[in-house]
Structure 1
Amino acid sequence: MTVAVLRADEAAWRVLAGLLPGEDIGSPAPDDAAAVRIVAHRLARIAASRPELGAALRQWAAVSTANIITGGARVVGTTVQARDISGGIHVHEYGHHDSRLPVPRQLIPAPAHFTGREADLAALDGLRAAQRDTGVRIVVSGTAGVGKTALVSRWLGGLAPMYPGGQLYADLQGFGDDPADPGVVLGRFLRAFGVDHVPIALAEQTALWRTVTADLRIAVMLDNAYSAAQVRPLLPASPAALAVMTSRRRLPALGLDGAAFHQIGVLRSEDAVELLTHRLGRERVASEREAVQGLARLCGGLPLALCVAAARMAARPRQPLAVLTGAMSSDHDRLDALDAGGDRAVRTALDDSYAALPPDVARGYRQLGLLVVPEFGPDHVAAACDLTPGGAVRLLDELVDVNLVEELGHDRFRLHDLIRDHAALRAAEDEQPDARRAVVRRVLDWYLATATAARRLLSPTHRQLRRDYVFPPGHVPAFADEATALMWLDTEQIHLMAAIRLAAERGWDATAWQLVDSMQPLFLRRRPYDLWTEAHRIGLAAAERAGHPEGVSRMLTTGGSGFYNVGDYDEAIAWFTRALEGARRDGDLRAQAQALHGLGQSHRLAGRLEQAARLFRQALDLRETIGYARGAALSRLCLGDVALASGDAAGAVDLLTRARAALLAVPDPYDAARALAFLGLAHAAEGIRDFPAAEACLRQALAEFVRTGSVHWQAHAMEMLGGTAADRGDPGEARDWYEQSLALYTPLSPTDAGRLEDRLRSLNRS
């Protein structure tokens, strides 16, 4: 047994203060035992984070926590103090006893096959550096199964030497059936630092935790947090501490506590393949590389899905990987296919996230799983979920906050493929069939109304056909100008095509052909030829099934235009001939003129100029008879083009000048620009050869096509300018125009791009 005695005089405190410059250690009275013990505990904490002072501080703490015997005398070790003793006292102590607890090292290990995430690790390093002097608090959020825990475990594991006071870990189970109570977690944390008597009340536990951690350099990982309220009591008080929270929610309220935020996304495709390679072995992956890439794609880069898929295939070493890929290729079977020995981890994780949603948000989540488009905005959500625009924004905010919806920026959002599958499954389980159909129908009606509004703005002189709505949309975007309307049609063209296909598949035939009709400005100005012809084949069949003669006529004429633009003149003539027969049967002079005009253009592009001129004149006569000024101007425009091709430049100038004036008067700026472009060619033709006038017309036409957003005609005008430059003997300028034209044509039309490449090759040979 050892007994040490220290007199607590002023000199001793001065020595202690010299060891700890800048530290507030207090100065208790020599006979104040409670105050001395508080200082001793504080010094013990400092010792844990200051190894160079540890020995001296621990020695003083041991001395100063002795029982006070008298006045300034203190003793440590085994002590007996009594007035009277009867009988013997036996005190035995064998060897040296060290009652210090080990420094807690509770972090869970990072996965053995951790892959990628270099950008995320660098981002966390940056957030830590930015907060280093004020205490680091970081929230790492992301959807279920995206790898938040693995990332943070890997990152904190590399920082362990920088936090010698210890590393603590707690799974808060925020999305399970029984979330962790902060008081229970605090009790574990406090006991890890040697606190034997933990208060019962949470407020007292929190105060003690702040006291214990006030000077410690520790790292705390709080995994699967649900809310800021669950996290706040567990945050360490030391400005040198690091606390990292992972959550499926963004937890923005922790910003009030100084937290920084990092959102984690899915793995890149190459990292997803590498993760599968680690799990399955390089030899197996090398033999089925294509299947592995397909599996990574079907898992959408979600680490949990990748690990589950790898576990399933690892348990079946003789089964080709293509078997699982095939099973997952069906959207409805994808989640069921991710079943590793009965452990349906992916669906369970998503079910937990779903169960935590408020009822109205859960309903919105289910309905978004029925959307026909992979990306969407608040307007789509308002239509699908029958909400006001403000209600749609609030729903998206809730779903983004819990990382079930991914924000892409500029009011664009999406569901991860597996999350969309899950939402659709929940809709199948929790929504009635009529309710599910209504969601889809509302979205299609919204697309029809919005595309029709864009068409009306872009083609105000075109005859508006009927529109049939089951759920007339309460809110349709107001387009500021033509450019905005055309941009919307361009952005949504793939989604509009999906809506057309779905409407036809569901038997909603009126919606199908009317959607096709609403896309007409896009077809004319952007020239997506494959979509143009596909859409009209679907639209024509739908209009015929619906028994809508005006729809059949419109599909035949606008569809025929698509066919002659792709060079399928025989198909175009067949469509326009059917349109002409139907119009004559119905006595519709306007429709007859439209069909004759289309037949004329088909023959013109096929090189049959006399037939084309005859048909255009017939169309012109009908249009003038019924007083259709715009149609008559278009027929003159086409007759001017035929005259130009026939060598009658002067006649072409007259026809085109009249056509442009009439189109400007309508007004129809797009077709007026077309007339001006042909007029430029006429000025450059033999017999006139007024190159300055030609180039002035073509440059002005190009500027007008830019304003109307017609990329195809911008390219065409550049091609015309190149040809004019070549005709006047300037191959350098011709090459510049041809190269600019080719750059615009390449993504639009392989046929036109091929023609420009031929022109450039010919120019280079000359």
Structure 2
Amino acid sequence: MTAWDARDEGTGTTTDGTTPGGGPPVGPPEGPGADPGAPARPNTIGGSARFLGHTVQAGEVHGGIHLHHPPPQAPARPVPRQLPPVPAHFIDREPDIDALTALRAGERPLIVVSGPAGVGKTTLVSRWLRTLDEDFPDGQLYADLRGHAPADPPPAHHPDTPATQSEVLGRFLRALGAVSVPDDPTEQMALWRSSTADRRMVVMLDNAFTAAQIRPLLPGGPGCLVTVTSRRMLSGLRLEGAEFHRLDALGTDDGIELLRRTIGNERVESEFPAVREVVTLCAGLPLAVCLASARLASRPRQPVEALARALTPDSERLTALEVEGEATVRKALDASYDVLSEPAALLYRALGALPLRTFDARTAAASCGEGLAWAQRRLDELIEAHLMEETGPDRCRFHDLVRVHAQGRALREDGPIAREETLRRVCEWYLETASAAQRGLTPAQAVLPRTPKLPSPGLPLPFDDDTGALGWLDSHRDGLMAAVRAAHERGWYATAWQLVDACWPLFLRLSHYDLWIPAHEIGRDAARRDGHGAAERQMLNSGAIGLGASGRIDTATEWYEESLRAARAAGDVRDEGQALLGLGFCHRRAGRPDRAAALLERAIVVWDGCGYRRGTALARTTLGEVSLAEGDPAAAMGHFRRARATLLEVDDPHDATRALALLGRARVCSGAYAEGMAELREALDRFTGSGARHWQARTLEMLADSARDGGDGPAAREWYERAVAVYRTTSPDDAERLEAALGGANAPGEPPATSQACRQDGSSESRGSS
């Protein structure tokens, strides 16, 4: 541009130097003949002018004015801190720490620490890795691979089955800032290696069972340190250059010192022979010593000798079935459990029977049908007894050996009906809480009736606004998925599909495709088994949205076609329109615009007939994208304008802003550059304010495309670079596409000619509204 018109940048400034409200320009007059001594005029803006982006006020402009955005800043990279906490009573095992330090010499350091159950592998490694923060500034990742799974494993994804590659990589990628996680394990592994290629961080893989579990989880770059703990040697990892360290039991003196820190020096010295016997019976296992010390601390008047007698092996011990270390710890666990209060013992067994890895106070309260204060007191008792360990604010877990013990106690002391009621209460509480989050986060979208089987536990909601609701769904996603699977496995089909439906905002807002798609596969089957046709269609449509958004267009098409047949058979025109909209999206993505347009027009007719205005607006939005892709911006603008007006009327601000962004791009394509850029900037502001990061990136790319079309190459490049920075956290494929174009054959300042104005992510599609 030879002359800069502020309106082209979405401001309210006119080229004659006045403001839209009629106020005078700012500053002293400039240009030939101007009096340099003239006083500056005040900076006043009249009327109702609204300014977006850069604003220039000037009496006269000579030559060109060029505004340059500051260099795009990528979002701050998350620095995860996931290592398990180190107990305050940790005995510094300096020879072992020195040995681990000496093993760090490799180019891609991989260290395996092995030893018997309860010997303190996790605590030692966590303590050592925490001393390396300066060498690994990009953080710490932790995963429990659950390699202690029994020979006769429970159902898939149960807390006692080995962790899957997809499960671990999904958690790692989210911790590193990935907003959407692919559902394909190969794509997850590729994204994981790309995400770690330039990072310096530590990765702790706890409780590994085989070398095969480890290989897909190794980072992509040389700057990461990987440590593995296992009860096995894992010698197969020698092929990956692993170094090995065997952790042995504590010596007697260290065991006594560990006990001394809990019960005090006076008691140790006064009953030293019995103290030594207790430590000996604990076989040098820190977990067993901690359990013993907690029991002694809770009974200051009880002789230490009484505990020694309780720990002495009996003649019925099944030594042939013992796993190294486990029998010793089991004896200590029995002693600790026997002195719990009755309510704490009840909670211990209840939590042991649940398919969950971590617990908070509300989950604990729901499991026993008690109040929040009751649960907090019992959890404190379990933590004091070393039967539960804190992992964060209002978050705790079992050591794996303690979990097995708690499960065993539940099996022996609680009948199947009691255990089922415990699980049912927790599933119902998850459903009630997730449904409350859903009502707040997606109020315009349909929620099928909930049919709880138990009375509400009456617990206070753990959030009070939309941000808190989404945060709760995200932080409890593993528990929610475990509840979905458990309900389905037990034949509680209504609860299973209702839980999936209640998690809709989690899938829609955060695009965790590795959870979204499996959950809807379960939900679809559960709804079918429940004989609930409307729920089955809901699962088909919601699942197809995820499939389409993740790029699985053929499978998404199959789900939509099944939904369409079911809707027509049921005479449900609302669901028929939803399926038609989805099919239109799929055909557009597959490069069949004529077929897409016909399906979308049919959806509009169907929804007009039943008065579903929001649906017609969403169909018009997609139809506008088809027109824009086909080179007809005038028709596209008509669709986008109508869609936006309706979406504002039905109070759907997110989709109204989508229509605004697309309208802006269509205006630019029609030649109305200034108006189109203003609308795109307004949409960007709105998406930024709402946190819709994927559509921030989409709008940034449309701004770049538009600046390129307007001949402003440098500005276009800046927009593209800003789009790449956001895409890195939402759509790595798009980030890679733009980076390759920017760094490839294009000359500096010459952005890629790869407009994505008509590209759509399926997650923006609609489900039916209430």
In structure 2, C-alpha distance between the alignment counterparts of 1:553 and 1:481, rounded to whole Å? 30
Q: 1:650 & 1:732 partners in 2: Cα distance?
A: 28
> Hey, what's the Cα distance between the residues in 1 that align with 2:377 and 2:532?
41
Q: Which residue of 2 aligns with 1:397?
A: 380
State the Cα distance separating 1:410 from its structure 2 match.
Answer: 3.2
Q: Secondary structure of the equivalent of 2:396?
A: strand
Deviations 1:492-539 (A, max 9, x none): 223322222222222222122212211222222222223222222121
Tell me if 1:460 matches 2:449. no
* Shift of residue 699, structure 1, vs aligned partner: 3.0
| RMSD of aligned Cα (Å) | 4.2
Equivalences for residues 421-570 of structure 1 within 5 A: 421-474=404-457, 475=459, 477=461, 479-570=463-554
Is 1:417 the counterpart of 2:400? The answer is yes
Letter in 2 for 1:116: I
What count of residue pairs does the alignment treat as equivalent? Answer: 485
Match of residue 22 from structure 1: none
- Specify whether residues 350 and 756 from structure 1 end up closer, same or farther in structure 2 by C-alpha distance, changes over 3 A only: farther
Inter-partner Cα distance in structure 2 for 1:150 and 1:607: 56
Instruction: Name the CA distance, whole Å, in 1 between partners of 2:596 and 2:228.
Output: 58
User: Which residue identity is paired with 2:333?
Assistant: L
Corresponding position of 2:149: none
Letter in 1 for 2:427: L
Please name the residue that 1:693 is paired with.
675
Deviations 1:679-734 (A, max 9, x none): 2221222x2241x4333323332333344343322332233233333333444444
**Which residue is equivalent to 1:721?**
703
- The answer to whether the 8 A contact 2:118-2:326 is kept is no
Distance 1:283 1:444 in 2: 41
Deviation of 1:547 after TM superposition, in Å, equals: 0.9
Partner AA of 2:96 in structure 1: T
Unaligned runs of 5+ residues in structure 1 are 1-109, 120-142, 152-264, 297-301, 310-334
Q: Does 1:646 align with 2:630?
A: yes
Cα distance in 1 for partners of 2:230, 2:504 equals 47
One-letter amino acid of the counterpart of residue 426, structure 1: R
Q: In 2 relative to 1, CA 396–283 (structure 1 residues): closer, same or farther, beyond 3 Å?
A: closer
State which structure, 1 or 2, has the greater radius of gyration over its C-alpha atoms: 1
CA distance in 2, matches of 1:627, 1:744: 38
Deviations 1:635-664 (A, max 9, x none): 121122112112121222222122122212
Please report how far the alpha carbon of residue 444 of structure 1 lies from its aligned counterpart in structure 2 after TM superposition: 1.3
Q: Does the Cα contact within 8 Å between 2:206 and 2:230 map onto a contact in 1?
A: no
Q: 1:379 to 1:572 in 2, by over 3 A?
A: same
CA offset at residue 488 of structure 1? 2.0
Letter of the aligned partner of 2:499 in structure 1? Answer: L
Q: What pairs with 1:149-164 in structure 2 (closer than 5 Å)?
A: none
1:479-501 Cα offsets, whole Å, 9 max, x none, are 43322222222222233222222
User: What pairs with 1:43-442 in structure 2 (closer than 5 Å)?
Assistant: 115-116=96-97, 339-340=323-324, 344-442=327-425
Equivalent residue for 2:658?
A: 674
User: How does the TM-score come out when normalised to structure 2?
Assistant: 0.56
Residue 569 (structure 1) shift = 2.0
Structure 1: how far apart are the matches of 2:580 and 2:226? Answer: 59
Q: In structure 2, the residue corresponding to 1:667 is in which secondary structure?
A: coil
The structural deviation recorded for 1:747 is 4.6
Between the two structures, name the one with larger relative contact order (CA 8 Å, sep ≥ 6): 2
CA distance in 2, matches of 1:469, 1:117: 56
Identify unmatched segments of 5+ residues in structure 2. 1-90, 101-116, 126-203, 209-224, 249-254, 259-278, 287-318, 751-770
Relative distance call for 1:755 and 1:472 in structure 2 (3 A) is: farther
C-alpha separation in 2, matches of 1:520 and 1:565: 14
What CA distance in whole angstroms lies between the structure 1 residues aligned with 2:246 and 2:600? 54
Question: When you count helix as a share of all residues, which structure comes out higher?
Answer: 1
The one-character-per-residue Cα deviations of 1:516-571 (angstroms, maximum 9, x if unpaired) are: 21122222222222322222212111111111101111111111212221222222
Q: Which amino acid aligns with 2:398?
A: L
CA contact (8 A) 1:563 1:569 kept: yes
Residue-by-residue CA offset, 1:425-483 (whole Å, 9 max, x unaligned): 22122221111111111111111111111111111121220222222432251643322
The alignment partner of 1:371 has SS state of coil
- Give the deviation of 1:272 after TM superposition: 8.6
Deviation at residue 361 of structure 1 after TM alignment: 0.6
Greater mean deviation of Cα atoms: 410-419 or 559-568: 410-419
Where does residue 737 of structure 2 map in the other structure? 755
Describe how 1:697-716 pairs up with structure 2 within 5 A.
697-716=679-698
Q: For 2:353, what is the secondary structure of its paired residue? A: coil
Secondary structure of 1:647 counterpart: coil
Q: In 2, Cα distance between the equivalents of 1:148 and 1:501?
A: 29
Query: Counterparts of 1:148 and 1:366 in 2: how far apart (Å)?
Result: 24
Structure 1 residues 676 and 271, CA, compared in 2 at 3 Å: closer, same or farther? closer
Identity percentage over the alignment?
42
- The residue type equivalent to 1:437 in the other structure is E
Letter in 2 for 1:711: R
In structure 1, what is the Cα distance between the partners aligned to 2:330 and 2:746?
62
CA distance change for structure 1 residues 643 and 364 in 2, over 3 Å: closer, same or farther? Answer: same
TM-score normalised to structure 1 length: 0.57
SS where residue 439 of structure 2 aligns?
Answer: helix
- Alpha-carbon distance in structure 1 between the residues aligned to 2:326 and 2:443: 59
* Conserved? CA contact 1:479–1:485, under 8 Å: yes
